[in-house]
Structures are given as C-alpha cells and as structure tokens.
Amino acid sequence: MGEPKPGLVWGATTLLAHVAGVVATAVAGGPVVVSARAGQELPALPAATERVDDPPGSVGPLAGIIAALERLTGRADAVVVVACDLPLLTATLLSGLTEALSADLDAVVPVVGGHPQPLAAVYAAGVLEAFRAACTEGRNGPRAALSGLRVSYVDFADGVPFLNVNDPAAFTYATALATDV
C-alpha cells in the first residue's frame, strides 16, 4: 500500500478509526479494543477505544485476537473481531453476527465464496484458552484456531462488505463503493 493501512485516510478520519467506529456502533456502548504490535504507531483512536499490545514474540492476527480477549476478560461475553482493512463492514452486519452467537456456540464466522472470514467474526469470550493452545501448538492462524470449536459458519452471497483493502486498487474500489467517504 505504500503506507500502513491503519492510517490511510477514509473520509474525514482514518481507516482504523472508521472501523473502530463501526465496531463501537455494533457493540452499542460495549468496550472497543484495538490490538497492535508493541511499539506500532497507530493513528488517533476514537474516544473510549482502548489499545492493547500483542504479546511479545507473537506473530499474526491470532495474537491480536488473544490480546483483545485477555483485555476484555470479565467485561464482555462476546468479542467482535474486525481487521482494520475491512472498511465496508457495517454495524448492522456485525450486530447480526453477534445476535447469532448463542450459548452453544464458540464463534459465528461469515463465509464468502467458500472462504471463512475469521477477521470479521464474533467469538465467545470463552475461546481464549483454545486460542492460546492453538498458538502453543503452532496453529497461529485464526482459521486453524477454529478447529475443534463450535462454529456457526454463515454464508454471505454478497462479498462486498468483506472487501479487504490490501492494495491501492482495492482501496480505490472500496472508496468508490462506500457511502460515507
């Protein structure tokens, strides 16, 4: 991308602040936590958004999910996980995933085109130990960490909300599709 994705300009804010705001709306006053590598510079976060550092020596998004789960232990029964490079997700979609999480499930994970989207999902707070064990076993990816958990995979025919802006062309395309930029 040429510069770190969290700080990319998205309308009147940054990509990270926009996504954090969407999550804040979806969780309706619940805590919002942003995880990042220790020492990683982040743009200004929305008020009441907390930052937590990934565990030292950890690699990948599962480490960030673990750090957020640790921060939210005892404060939230479920955690909405969203990568900062998914600007087209909506609070309505995320709220729907949260509502689909029941006591007999560990996670609700969207599926687009046959591909699970674990970085746009809802996890029960109780998955923390399973995710830690997955890391200890070398299963550092979120998809691998789902193995053995009770997961509801929800198919989405429309992949637009899950458009990942990994390159300038995708970012430009997402900006053109967005209604709030």
Stated as kind and residue range, the H or E segment containing 164 is: none
- Average pLDDT on 109-124 reads 96
Q: Looking at per-residue confidence, does 19 or 181 come out higher?
A: 19
Q: Using one digit for the tens of pLDDT, what is the confidence trace for 124-174?
A: 999 999 999 998 888 888 998 999 999 999 999 999 999 999 999 999 999
For the chain, helix, strand, coil in percent to 5 are 35, 20, 45
Asked if residue 84 has pLDDT above 70, the reply is yes
- pLDDT value, residue 130: 94
Report the distance separating Cα 124 and Cα 102, nearest Å.
Answer: 9
DSSP letter (8 states) at residue 69: H
Q: What are 111's strand-pairing partners?
A: 116, 155
Q: Are 30 and 99 in contact (CB under 8 A)?
A: no
Q: Which residues contact 16 (CB under 8 A, 6 or more apart)?
A: 5, 6, 7, 34, 42, 43, 45, 84
For the cut 80, the answer to whether the pLDDT of residue 181 exceeds it is no
**pTM, entire model:** 0.92
What pLDDT score does 95 carry? Answer: 95
The CATH classification of domain 5-177, taken from the options 3.60.15.10, 3.90.550.10, 1.10.10.10, 3.40.640.10? 3.90.550.10
Mean pLDDT computed over 83-104? 95
Check residue 146 and give its pLDDT.
93
Query: What's the CA angle centered on 143, arms 66 and 63, to 5 degrees?
Result: 20
pLDDT digits (tens, 9 = 90+) for 17-70: 999 999 999 999 888 999 998 888 999 998 889 999 988 777 788 999 999 999
